[in-house]
């Protein structure tokens, strides 16, 4: 889509040469063909070094936009950014894509729903009632159980097992807010990549990224009712017990153990080999690997045990 057309749709002006915009992205990840935005002044340093072809920016920061980047000045960046994402949202399916391709030795139940553009590897099983979206990829030897939904553009690796009722690639939860208290959708135009040897239990939800990709890395195992927000990156060989929730853009290192009903807020970084006991409430990043954490607010497990002993004494006093 041409930048001039985008600007017109958004009611904005810009200076500089027109540009073919291939998509949107964050300031740090945008390429010269992508449109970015500064919606929070805390990212001002990222603006100064962005490679984005164009940015949505408030007038007060227009002077900070790098020379090679076109500035689209707007009054309300979050709302304009949300409106811009709608311009890049693909339809739920791509009916015009070529017929799906299935590798040798695979069993795709004729009662499964496989969209055009999907690619299924070798020796895979896709059971009745499962949905495989347009341009989705299912790896070799993977089993997709009944009534699983893999949204368009999402990828599941080899030797995975995705259990019934699980959804891969539903929209991440992102909105801009009007002064009247209405919520304007930020369209979720990224995807999900499930790497090899991952098992996901039943009725889990792995949301697609707003831009780029939500990752569940190689060898990780997720129990039932896990919720993974958009743009998370769940490291290799993690173990999630049931009913865990992870807020958007949170990253876990390899071999984390996350016990049942634990929850993470968004934008955290968790060191590898971290363990969380049941129902931990994680609201801060963890730099040091190998530790055990508990409670909400989160504390080291040994402190949590000590706190519970104190509380037990308190209740007896």
Of the ranges 9-17, 25-33, 80-88, 253-261, which one interacts with its own copies (CB under 8 A)? 253-261
Shortest distance, position 265 Cβ to its own copies, whole Å: 7
Contacts of 154 (CB under 8 A, 6+ apart): 133, 136, 137, 168, 169, 191, 192, 193, 194, 208
230 is catalytic: yes
Residue 212 · residue 22 · CB < 8 Å: no
What is the three-class DSSP state of 257? strand
The three-state (H, E, C) secondary structure of 180-224, written as one string: CCCEEECCCCCEEEECCCCEECCCCEEECCCCCEEEECCCCEECC
Among 14, 37, 61, 131, which residue interacts with its own copies (rule: CB under 8 A)? 131
62 lines the binding site for its own copies (CB under 8 A): no
- Closer to its own copies by CB, 11 or 296: give it: 296
Residue 119 touching its own copies (CB under 8 A) = no
Which of 26, 189, 255, 274 is in the footprint of its own copies by CB under 8 A?
Answer: 255
DSSP per position, 119-148: EE-TT-EE-TT-EE-TT-EE-TT-EE-TT-
**Of the candidates 263, 270, 271, 286, which one interacts with its own copies according to CB under 8 A?**
263
Q: Which is nearer to its own copies, 175 or 267 (CB)?
A: 175
Tell whether residue 86 is a contact of its own copies (CB under 8 A). no
Indicate whether 171 belongs to the interface with its own copies (CB under 8 A).
yes
Give residues with Cβ within 8 angstroms of 57, minimum separation 6: 37, 38, 47, 64, 65, 71, 72, 73, 74, 77
Alpha helices by DSSP H, listed for the chain, are 3-10, 44-49, 77-87, 301-316
Q: Does 308 bind its own copies (CB under 8 A)?
A: yes
Query: Which one is catalytic: 163, 225, 227, 230?
Result: 230
Chosen residue from 32, 92, 98, 290 binding its own copies by CB under 8 A: 92
Nearer to its own copies, 113 or 122 (CB): 113
Is residue 89 close enough to count as binding its own copies by CB under 8 A? no
d(CA 256, CA 61): 40
**Which element (helix H / strand E) includes 234?**
strand 233-234
Count CA atoms within 13 Å of residue 48 on its CB side.
Answer: 6
The two structure tokens encoding residue 315: 């209740």
Residue 247 interacts with its own copies (CB under 8 A): yes or no: yes
Between CA 86 and CA 301 the distance in angstroms is 45
State the Cα angle at 234 between 228 and 240, rounded to 5°. 70
Which of residues 80, 142, 203, 274 is near its own copies by CB under 8 A?
203
Query: Is 267 one of the binding residues for its own copies (CB under 8 A)?
Result: no
Smallest distance from its own copies to CB 29, Å: 24
Q: Is 249 in the site for its own copies (CB under 8 A)?
A: no
Using the minimum distance from each CB to its own copies, give the nearer residue, 14 or 145: 145
Q: Does 59 bind its own copies (CB under 8 A)?
A: no
Contact set for its own copies, span 212-241 (CB under 8 A): 219, 221, 223-225, 227, 229, 237, 239, 241
Distance CA 138, CA 151 (A): 12
127 binds its own copies (CB under 8 A): yes
How near is the Cβ of 63 to its own copies at its closest, in Å?
35
User: Under a CB-based contact definition with an 8 Å cutoff, are residues 132 and 150 in contact?
Assistant: yes
Q: Decide if residue 181 touches its own copies (CB under 8 A).
A: yes
Q: Which of 87, 97, 164, 292 binds its own copies (CB under 8 A)?
A: 164
Active site residues: 230
């Amino acid at each position: 889509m041409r930048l001039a057309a985008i600007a017109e749709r958004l009611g904005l002006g810009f200076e500089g040469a027109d540009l073919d915009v291939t998509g949107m992205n964050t300031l740090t990840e945008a390429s010269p063909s992508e449109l970015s935005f500064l919606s929070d002044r805390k990212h001002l340093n990222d603006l100064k070094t962005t490679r984005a072809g164009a940015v949505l920016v408030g007038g007060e920061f227009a002077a900070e936009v790098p020379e090679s980047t076109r500035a689209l000045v707007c009054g309300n960046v979050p709302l304009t950014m949300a409106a811009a994402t709608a311009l890049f949202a693909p339809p739920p399916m791509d009916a015009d894509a070529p017929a799906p391709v299935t590798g040798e030795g695979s069993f795709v139940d004729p009662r499964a729903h496989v969209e055009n553009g999907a690619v299924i590897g070798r020796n895979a099983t896709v059971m009745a009632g499962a949905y495989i979206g347009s341009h989705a990829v299912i790896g070799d030897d993977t089993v997709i159980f009944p009534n699983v939904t893999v949204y368009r553009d999402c990828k599941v690796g080899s030797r995975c097992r995705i259990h019934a009722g699980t959804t891969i690639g539903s929209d991440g939860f992102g909105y801009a807010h009007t002064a009247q208290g209405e919520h304007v959708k930020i369209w979720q135009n990224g995807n999900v990549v499930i790497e090899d040897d991952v098992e996901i239990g039943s009725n889990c939800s792995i949301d697609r990224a707003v831009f780029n990709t939500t990752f569940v890395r190689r060898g990780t195992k997720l129990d039932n009712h896990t919720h993974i927000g958009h743009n998370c990156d769940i490291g290799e060989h993690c173990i999630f017990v049931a009913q865990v929730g992870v807020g958007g853009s949170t990253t876990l290192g390899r071999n984390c153990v996350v016990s049942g009903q634990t929850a993470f807020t968004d934008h955290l970084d968790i060191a590898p080999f971290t363990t969380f006991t049941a129902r931990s409430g994680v609201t801060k990043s963890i730099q040091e690997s190998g530790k055990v954490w508990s409670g909400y607010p989160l504390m080291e497990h040994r402190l949590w045990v000590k706190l519970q002993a104190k509380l037990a004494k308190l209740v007896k006093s």
